[in-house]
Amino acid sequence: MFTRPFLPSLTELLDLELIDTDLYRGINEYPDDGREILYGGQVAAQALMAAGLTVPAERFPHSMHGYFLRPGRRAAPVVFRVERDRDGRSFSARRVTALQSGEVIFDLTASFHVDEPGGEYTTAMPDDLPDPDDCVTLGYADQFPNADARVIPPTVTEQGGRVVSGRLWIRARERLADDRLVQACALAYLSDIGTGFQRPELSWIAQGGASLDHALWFRTPIRADEWLYSSMVPLHAAGARGLYVGSVFERGTGILGATFAQEVLMRPTRPA
């Protein structure tokens, strides 16, 4: 009988091992079930956690920018090296290099900020969305097993029957700690869940290949283990690259929790 391989929870993925000063090691999802490539959101979340472990407790992530340089492999651990660029009066800046077998697979810059008062404005979440229970599960959700992702109509059916949309309900599958760093890292994990660069003008190319770079701005503290509305809008495609931006709202409150932008590789599909 087939035995399902060990699947670390998101909490376990974010519980990095300290192996030396500013040097951490993480574990991987499904390390031994034949799935060769790591989910990029896992690496980004762990890199942000490594950075956050080196800043004062009252400073929280407000932005991160990552570059996916090489595919990560599930069969090998990832080591995260943190560089403390600056600790100012209210901001801290960190750089994190994610390494496998001595090679850099991901680079992250992250900034942390203390809570400060200021003027407030936010855009509103749509109020006519279907309930998550009335939406179908994203067809390739097994690529990120610690997330629950539901497709919100209208949808597009790609060749092969994959149903995609520019709008999703997303959340972490488990209840997470009441810790803003943990919740922010979980949101980083979720923010890499995309549905492709869906435009009818681009039907002749691979609509959303490998991620090239990813930026995430944390706006208002939200829980990643509650349902979140993620809206993605394609902006531009040229030169074998496509750019889309997104917003993440908390379902219960309707507040804007984060915004993100991602660039993906979009090379022409090879003839069969």
Task: Report which of 185, 179, 174, 194 is spatially closest to residue 244, judged by C-alpha positions.
Answer: 194
Residue with tokens 């003839």: 271
Q: Is 211 a catalytic residue?
A: yes
Give the residue from 129, 147, 113 showing the smallest Cα distance to 45.
Answer: 147
In angstroms, the Cα distances linking 225 to 127, 178, 180, 183, 245 are 21, 10, 12, 8, 22
Catalytic residue among 207, 211, 225, 230: 211
* Three-point CA angle 263, 40, 229, nearest 5°: 70
Question: Could you tell me if residue 254 is left (phi over 0), alpha (psi between -120 and 50 degrees) or otherwise beta?
Answer: left
213 is catalytic: no
How far from chain centre, in Å, is Cα 133? 23
Check if the beta carbon of residue 251 is closer than 8 Å to that of residue 131: no
Catalytic residue among 165, 192, 207, 225: 192
Coil vs helix vs strand at 197: coil
Catalytic site residue from 92, 111, 165, 262: 262
Whether 13 contacts 48, CB under 8 Å: no
Q: Report, as residue numbers or ranges, the catalytic residues.
A: 192, 211, 262
